[in-house]
Chains A and B, each alone.
Chain A
Amino acid sequence: MEEAATGGRGTVTPFASMFPASEAQKAAKRVEEKIGEKQKELDSIKEFVTENTNLINLVSRLPDELNHDIMVPFGKAAFFPGRLIHTNEFMVLLGDGYYAERTAKQTVEILTRRGKTLDSQVESLMANMKDLKAEASFFDVTASEAAEGLVEIREDYVEEKFREKHSKSDDKNNDKKVEFEDDEYARIMSRLDELEKEELEAEAEEVDAKDDVESDVEQPDAAENNDESDTDEQTDAAENNDESETDEQSDAAESNSESHDNTQPQATLSIKEPLLQKTAGALSNKYLPQQNITDTSNVLMQTPKSGFDSSKAFTGSIAESADTVSTNSRQQAVTSSQVITGSIVERADIPKNSQQAAISSQASKPAFDSSKAFTGSIVERTYNLPTSGQDAFSSQSSSSQPSKPLSRFKMRRS
């Protein structure tokens, strides 16, 4: 590949070196061949369609008379003069060697249904061919462009410069923000500690009765924070630190809702583990793309975080990213989002975040349309919370603890 530096950064690559004209032409030819194949397929299907319509006409006409004089085929090479009798009785192949005796009307119905299937096949083939044609034209254009000697200029986007400028211009603003957040963090942390203690006690009581994971799920606190997601993390994270994380997370979310201090008892969630595990597994690889979307929401939070020890900072960031969930919660049937709505009230700096969250939640929605209403709500939550957790963690580790493995969550999930 030929590269010419322009001012120290960026590259100029002739199109021809990346996509040699001959290669592009070859590719175009291959696509043309594919189109030819599809055309043949389409022709045969169209033949079927015409055959089918002819047959429909024939079948609907046959009962008009009591009998028709025909040459009855006897093998492939011989005929007997004969006639059709019982002109309103047809044997129609249903498939797999099963035949049904139908009247002319019923047969016509069957044949029209077959015709519809054929039509849909034709349609899909047409769409396929359209795609292929677009591809072929793209290859052709590429070939001609390469032949013309077009070059591609690629210049890396340098983010640091932008950041410097940004921080300089927004100095005051930033300071204020940091102050504000610091203050808030202190508040959150104190509340966190309190709640953690409370919860540990409560947990200790409940652990007696039930086994570890289930108790976590059924804890009112946890349930309140719609801990499908938390349980998810638990199942993923197997044993150790997940409990503390769950607690911290729920605490964090709760501390956001200080103003709404009422801790409404929610219906306890007794979801079976395997199900969660499954959904978590299914989702795990979809977290990654999401990260990009929610990442920006966590950039802001990096500064205050670095002051705390890692676990605190982590929960803090989760509390922040609970905003992400908040917008989501509107779309969900589960009422447990009460805590989170609190966070909306409190935060002045979230509009941007929530917007992004809205985007992300929208993005996540269609993927899970197929899941049932109940699991749907679970899924949505699991979708966002762990993501933000992951985000928070990765941003945290990059800012204050670069030595930690970046994708602990990912590792655990896989």
Chain B
Amino acid sequence: MGSYIQEKIHKFEQFVDGHLKPQLVRVIAERDKVFEQQKIFSDLRMNIENLEKNSVTNLRTMVNLGSEVYMQADVPDTQRIFVDVGLGFHVEFTWTEALSFIALREEKIAGEIEEYTRLISSIKARIKLVCEGIRELLQLPAEKSLPQRVF
């Protein structure tokens, strides 16, 4: 009997360490990527709004050639902007078009983030559940105080 419990506990632990935790790490990393996207687009939106506010028609900027070597670049016409719409495609927009696209994009990204967050919490819940199962198998007293906290 004891050995059976031991085996069961071992299985549970393996499930947590070998499956759930790596999954959690992976999903968190994915969510971080989406966060980055969100930041990129919010930056872009702010920049475009800035251009609009100052009614900039041409632009001087520095281009990074790689390894932190920069060269001056000139943009004669800022009205047309090419925005990355995903999968390597860039669409030529005017400022207003770009802003509406960015709003849609941000909405989608927010949804994605929410989804990921839900996924993460569900994985965490599963980890918790398995840990509680192990605790039950070991017949430790802690389980009594915990039911209120169960999700």
Contacts and interface: CB of A to CB of B under 8 A. Distances in A.
Contacts of A345: none
A83 B58 CA distance: 12
A62 B71 contact: yes
A111 B67 contact: yes
Interface size class of A (residues with CB under 8 A): 35 or more
Contact of A81 (B61, B69, B72, B77): B77
A72 B80 CA distance: 12
B44 A86 contact: no
B69 A91 contact: yes
B35 interface: no
| Residue among A67, A75, A89, A91 facing the most chain B CB atoms (10 A cut-off) | A75
A79 B90 contact: yes
Contacts of A83: 73-74, 76
Given A74-B47, A77-B84, A91-B62, A59 B73 contact: no
Contact of A91 (B70, B83, B98): B70
A388 to B, nearest CB: 58
A82 B59 contact: yes
A71 B70 contact: no
Interface string B7-48: 000000000000000000000000000000000110110010
Interface residues of B, number: 31
A55 B69 CA distance: 9
Interface in B66-94: 66-78, 80-84, 90
A90 B64 CA distance: 10
A52 interface: yes
B65 interface: yes
B103 interface: no
Contacts of B84: 76-78
Contacts of B125: none
Nearest to A75: B44
A85 B72 contact: yes
B95 to A, nearest CB: 11
A78 B71 contact: no
Given A80-B80, A83-B73, A84-B73, A75 B65 contact: no
Interface string A167-200: 0000000000000000000000000000000000
A93 B83 contact: no
Contacts of B70: 90-92, 99
Nearest to A91: B70
A81 B71 contact: no
B129 interface: no
A85 B61 CA distance: 10
A87 B62 CA distance: 12
A356 B68 CA distance: 58
A236 to B, nearest CB: 54
A81 B67 contact: no
Nearest to B46: A75
Given A93-B69, A114-B67, A79 B62 contact: no
A59 B43 CA distance: 30
Contact of B41 (A77, A85, A91): A77
Interface string A371-396: 00000000000000000000000000
Contacts of A73: 63-64
Contact of B44 (A62, A71, A74): A74
Nearest to A82: B75
A267 interface: no
Interface in A33-83: 51-52, 54-55, 58-59, 62, 67, 70-83
Given A85-B72, A86-B72, A80 B67 contact: no
Contact of B81 (A51, A74, A76): A74
A78 B80 CA distance: 11
| Residue among B69, B72, B80, B83 facing the most chain A CB atoms (10 A cut-off) | B69
User: Which A-B residue pairs are the 5 nearest by beta carbons?
Assistant: A93-B68, A82-B75, A91-B70, A77-B84, A79-B82
23 contacts: A52-B67, A55-B65, A62-B65, A70-B63, A72-B61, A74-B47, A75-B43, A77-B44, A78-B44, A78-B81, A78-B82, A78-B84, A78-B98, A80-B75, A82-B73, A84-B71, A84-B72, A85-B72, A86-B71, A86-B72, A89-B71, A92-B68, A99-B70
Interface of B: 40-41, 43-44, 47, 59, 61-78, 80-84, 90, 98
